[in-house]
């Protein structure tokens, strides 16, 4: 079938398509008043423009037979698509004009879109930013993930407690996806393996009596920035096979057969809501294998379609980036597909696998390191377990050759942990199977080679490298902060949107009083917008003249929201004691979700809410201090939060936050960081200059040195401020009607084994907060710091990060899409 000419990008063309979609595609009439259908009509109108470019991108990739990279990730925290698509197509103004002619308001329609929350936090958002940069850099990269029916839970706060509500984000339809049933794959589970010898004496393995599930792909377009490229995110949905019911049905067990269908469809039902910890649940392993197998079969299908059964060039043309250990079973699955399905010998298959897999580590926390019981593997994926044992046997032979007689090292490095229960160590499988292993910030990559992966670093030093994370400035500055965007573009031109290093040209303007005034005005307007969100969602009024002090991220002990609360209680204590000399009025905002099974994190949320109630209802604090907990922190909320923030809280225990990316969004939008020497904070401080960063706390080395002789009770006893803060909590000032509920928090702080060293960093944190408060009172100097932070944030664009992945790991060249005619 020949193709239609492309849709035009002007306001008239947009308006006429919008009306056509509204009345014909969606069948709505003039009496329909909900903005939802107008949103859908607009989204379809924008999608038409993406379709033209999407095909031309694919044609270029196929016809140039380009090398490709595949990003395998269990999470993609995409947020909303409409604003990003309009920005990248360059049709924001035309679309706004078209809506105006039809009597519609852009913001109202945009707010109808649900966030695609298919991720927990930083790791999932990183995957989303990466895809945006890959498309902008015109790199042939395909994202593979799962189409969860329910994404990250919606967080409500009831009586100060977190309540989880299911996120049925697809309920009102999802116009950004395209179902591709023609590329459905079949995934096997269970059964057993059998070996047999063919007529030439070659040994084969069959995986038999499996329970199969179908994987149906849904494609989501990923537009590049004004370059004609639209890449693909392919998300798999699980479905029952057609024959699911036959056996059971014929035996008269109709309901049993429907249950089998249910089981199949359960695989992609829900995202596991754990951030930085593993649940060890069978369904989670099924999800991981489902993603790996469907994606690899899809890549091999494509390969065979265009290259036949000759795999000699496969490793030259393909590579897979594993986003953490979650998709690591892909190492064994590629071996299986190459050997069992495509008849290859072990050595050839391993040559391909170990030259195509690359692994990104995201954490040093031991509780996040995935291990699966061998028993579970044997039941669920028997053929994969055989292959993992063989990979391990050959690997350990190599180790033994390099370090003869070192049996302790063999046990340490084995992919199989031999404890009371045998476990598969997924991180080790990833390292052994990959040609590249990277951390996500300089400190993190260094700590990996010195600690967690030291043995492997000694064996293969060249495998290890660093790729400091970033964020895309398209979403995190250009789209979410139109005021600042306009000011920047008026001052230095618009090239920064695809070349963030250009922001350095703002540096001289930090000395320009008029520019500072304009910068301050934009920040003030953004604070008004954030204050409205806080008023609507928390019922707390933030005065935009106050310093907006913000910590939003997953709630976790290592991120130390608790330290933040202790400081707020300290400020409250100062007010109550009349110690208000040199006071800076402050509005503190904390937001984030706790994993549903993480009791301590949930208790910290309760403490924040209770402290907020006491402070906000005490007339003594009026005009001096406000505290609010923002429910349901998510991408679309962050798009309002980071532009309106003055002070960005990045206060993790040093050595625990692998990189952080929230810190980068705040910096880009002109917030100043108060932070520890952890993750990318170190690089942020290097770029901004130490005089434009509020540093506090122990270093990672000092944290390690303190273990074993940490005495929090002595620290508390020696610090009058901390002593009073603890006394307030212990006296029940924040839980007068709920006795004992914060005991666990007090014990955690006072415990000599507190891994997060909250008490140890309190004094240094309070001092840094004093410096920040003083700096804020000199608005001119604060604005200078704000401008400098934004101007030096160029390094933290994912365009820089992805250029490094493309050059060092993927060996990918940009390839332009064919022109749209
Ligand atoms: C950026 C972002 C994160 C990551 O924040 P960190 O402070 O780096 O932990 C998590 N969730 C959302 C919604 C984000 O936008």
Fold classification of 65-80+115-369+437-468+804-810 (topology level): Rossmann fold (3.40.50)
CA of 480 from ligand 1 middle (Å) equals 15
Per the prediction, the chain carries an average pLDDT of: 96
Residues of the chain with CATH 3.40.50.2000: 65-80+115-369+437-468+804-810, 488-496+503-698+756-795
Mutate to test the pocket of ligand 1, among 154, 550, 553 (most ligand atoms within 8 A of CB): 553
Ligand 1 atom nearest to 122, measured from its CA? 4
- Name the residue among 309, 310, 329, 307 with its Cα closest to residue 320: 329
Task: Check residue 247 and give its pLDDT.
Answer: 59
CA of 799 from ligand 1 middle (Å) equals 18
Task: Check residue 239 and give its pLDDT.
Answer: 96
Q: Please tell me the distance from the alpha carbon of residue 43 to that of residue 18, in angstroms, as a whole number.
A: 9
CA of 266 from ligand 1 middle (Å) equals 28
Ligand 1 atom nearest to 552, measured from its CA? 7
Q: Is 662 in the pocket of ligand 1 (CB under 6 A)?
A: yes
pLDDT tens digits, 773-791: 999 999 999 999 999 999 9
Fold classification of 488-496+503-698+756-795 (topology level): Rossmann fold (3.40.50)
Q: Which pair of structure tokens corresponds to residue 493?
A: 């031109």
Task: Check residue 245 and give its pLDDT.
Answer: 57
Residue nearest to ligand 1 atom 6, measured at CA: 662
Q: Is 125 in the pocket of ligand 1 (CB under 6 A)?
A: yes
Please name the residue that has the structure tokens 């707010």: 111
3-state secondary structure of 271: coil
CA of 635 from ligand 1 middle (Å) equals 8
Task: Write out the H or E segment, with its range, that includes residue 318.
Answer: strand 318-323
Region 512-525 average pLDDT:
98
Contact 568, 588 (CB under 8 A): yes
Residue nearest to ligand 1 atom 3, measured at CA: 122
Task: Write out the H or E segment, with its range, that includes residue 70.
Answer: strand 68-72
- Name the residue among 688, 643, 398 with its Cα closest to residue 526: 643
Q: Is 237 in the pocket of ligand 1 (CB under 6 A)?
A: no
Ligand 1 atom nearest to 633, measured from its CA? 13
pLDDT tens digits, 603-658: 999 999 999 999 999 999 999 999 999 999 999 999 999 999 999 999 999 999 99
Contact 542, 612 (CB under 8 A): no
Q: Please tell me the distance from the alpha carbon of residue 219 to that of residue 47, in angstroms, as a whole number.
A: 12
Residue nearest to ligand 1 atom 10, measured at CA: 121
CA of 115 from ligand 1 middle (Å) equals 14
pTM greater than 0.85: yes
Q: Is 634 in the pocket of ligand 1 (CB under 6 A)?
A: yes
Q: Is 660 in the pocket of ligand 1 (CB under 6 A)?
A: yes
Give just the sign of the alpha carbon dihedral 417, 124, 121, 689: positive
- Name the residue among 283, 246, 281, 279 with its Cα closest to residue 264: 283
Task: Check residue 279 and give its pLDDT.
Answer: 76
- Name the residue among 638, 661, 642 with its Cα closest to residue 650: 661
% of the chain at pLDDT higher than 70 = 99
Q: Which pair of structure tokens corresponds to residue 432?
A: 């052994």
Task: Check residue 769 and give its pLDDT.
Answer: 98
3-state secondary structure of 223: strand
Contact 267, 283 (CB under 8 A): yes
pLDDT tens digits, 549-558: 999 999 999 9
Name, in order, each residue with C-beta under 8 angstroms of 620's C-beta and a sequence gap of 6 or more. Answer: 575, 576
Q: Please tell me the distance from the alpha carbon of residue 748 to that of residue 566, in angstroms, as a whole number.
A: 13
The DSSP code for 818 is P
Q: Is 593 in the pocket of ligand 1 (CB under 6 A)?
A: no
Residues marked active site are found at 362, 553-554, 559, 661, 665
3-state secondary structure of 584: coil
pLDDT tens digits, 178-220: 999 999 999 999 999 999 898 888 888 999 999 999 999 999 9
Name, in order, each residue with C-beta under 8 angstroms of 389's C-beta and a sequence gap of 6 or more. Answer: 416
Contact 646, 549 (CB under 8 A): yes
Q: Is 119 in the pocket of ligand 1 (CB under 6 A)?
A: no
Q: Is 140 in the pocket of ligand 1 (CB under 6 A)?
A: no
Q: Which pair of structure tokens corresponds to residue 601?
A: 């994190």
């Amino acid at each position: 079938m020949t193709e239609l000419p492309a849709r035009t990008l002007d306001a008239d063309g947009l308006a006429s398509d919008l009306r056509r979609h509204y009345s014909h595609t969606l069948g709505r009439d003039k009496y329909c008043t909900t903005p939802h259908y107008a949103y859908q009509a607009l989204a379809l109108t924008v999608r038409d423009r993406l379709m033209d470019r999407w095909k031309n991108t694919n044609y270029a990739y196929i016809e140039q037979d380009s090398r490709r990279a595949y990003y395998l990730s269990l999470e993609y925290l995409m947020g909303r698509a409409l604003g990003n698509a309009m920005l990248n197509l360059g049709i924001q103004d035309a679309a706004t004009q078209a809506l105006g002619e039809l009597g519609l308001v852009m913001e109202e329609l945009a707010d109808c879109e649900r966030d695609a929350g298919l991720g927990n936090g930083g790791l999932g958002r990183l995957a989303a930013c990466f895809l945006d940069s890959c498309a902008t850099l015109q790199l042939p990269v395909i994202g593979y993930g799962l189409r969860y029916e329910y994404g990250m839970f919606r967080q409500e706060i009831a009586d100060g407690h977190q309540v989880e509500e299911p996120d049925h984000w697809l309920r009102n339809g999802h116009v950004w996806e395209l179902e591709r049933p023609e590329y459905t794959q079949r995934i096997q589970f269970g059964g057993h393996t059998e070996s047999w010898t063919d007529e030439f004496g070659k040994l084969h393995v069959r995986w038999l009596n499996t329970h199969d599930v179908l994987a149906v792909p849904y494609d989501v377009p990923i537009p590049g920035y004004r370059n004609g490229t639209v890449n693909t995110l392919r998300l798999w949905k699980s479905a029952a096979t057609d024959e699911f019911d036959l056996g059971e049905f014929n035996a008269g067990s109709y309901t049993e057969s429907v249950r089998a269908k249910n089981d199949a469809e359960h695989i992609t039902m829900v995202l596991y809501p754990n951030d930085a910890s593993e649940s060890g649940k069978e369904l989670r392993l099924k999800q991981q294998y489902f993603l790996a197998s469907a994606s690899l079969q899809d890549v091999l299908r494509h390969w065979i379609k265009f290259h036949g059964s000759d795999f000699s060039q496969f490793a030259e043309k393909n590579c897979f980036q594993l986003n953490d250990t979650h998709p690591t079973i892909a190492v064994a699955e590629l071996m299986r597909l190459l050997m069992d399905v495509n008849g290859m010998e072990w050595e050839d298959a391993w040559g391909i696998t170990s030259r195509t897999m690359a692994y990104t580590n995201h954490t040093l926390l031991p509780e996040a390191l995935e291990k699966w019981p061998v028993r579970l593997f044997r039941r669920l994926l028997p053929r994969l377990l055989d292959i993992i044992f063989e990979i391990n046997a050959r690997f350990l032979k190599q180790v033994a050759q390099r370090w003869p007689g070192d049996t302790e090292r063999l046990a340490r490095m084995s992919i199989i942990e031999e404890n009371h229960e045998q476990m598969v160590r997924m991180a080790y499988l990833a390292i052994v199977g990959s040609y590249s292993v990277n951390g996500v910030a300089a400190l993190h990559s260094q700590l990996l080679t010195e600690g967690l992966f030291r043995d492997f670093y000694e064996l293969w030093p060249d495998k290890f490298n660093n790729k400091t994370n970033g964020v895309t400035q398209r979403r995190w500055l250009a789209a979410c902060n139109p005021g600042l965007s306009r000011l920047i573009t008026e001052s230095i031109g618009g090239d920064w949107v695809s070349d963030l290093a250009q922001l350095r040209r703002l540096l001289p303007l930090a000395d320009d009083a008029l520019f500072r005034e304009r910068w301050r005005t934009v920040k003030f307007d953004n604070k008004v917008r954030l204050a409205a969100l806080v008023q609507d969602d928390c019922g707390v009024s933030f005065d935009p003249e106050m310093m907006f002090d913000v910590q939003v991220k997953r709630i976790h002990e290592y991120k130390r929201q608790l330290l933040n609360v202790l400081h707020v209680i300290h400020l409250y204590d100062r007010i109550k004691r009349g110690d208000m000399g040199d006071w800076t009025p402050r509005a503190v905002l904390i937001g984030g979700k706790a994993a549903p099974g993480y009791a301590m994190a949930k208790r910290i949320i309760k403490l924040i809410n209770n402290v907020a109630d006491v402070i906000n209802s005490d007339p003594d604090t009026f005009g001096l201090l406000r505290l609010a907990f923002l429910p349901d922190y998510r991408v679309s909320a962050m798009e309002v939060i980071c532009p309106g923030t003055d002070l960005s809280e990045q206060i993790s225990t040093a050595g625990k936050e692998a990189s952080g990316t929230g810190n980068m969004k705040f910096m880009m939008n002109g917030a100043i960081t108060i932070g520890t020497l952890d993750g990318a904070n170190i690089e942020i401080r290097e770029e901004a200059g130490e005089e434009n960063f509020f540093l506090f706390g122990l270093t990672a080395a000092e944290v390690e040195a303190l273990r074993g002789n940490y005495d929090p009770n002595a620290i508390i006893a020696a610090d009058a401020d901390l002593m009073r803060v603890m006394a307030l909590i212990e006296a029940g000032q924040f839980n007068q009607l709920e006795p004992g509920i914060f005991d666990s928090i007090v014990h955690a702080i006072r415990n000599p084994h507190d891994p997060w060293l909250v008490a140890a960093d309190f004094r240094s944190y309070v001092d840094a907060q004093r410096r920040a408060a003083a700096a804020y009172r000199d608005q001119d100097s604060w604005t200078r710091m704000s401008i400098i932070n934004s101007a030096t944030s160029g390094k933290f664009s994912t365009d820089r990060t992805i250029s490094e992945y493309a050059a060092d790991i993927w060996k990918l060249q940009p390839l332009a899409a064919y022109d749209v005619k």
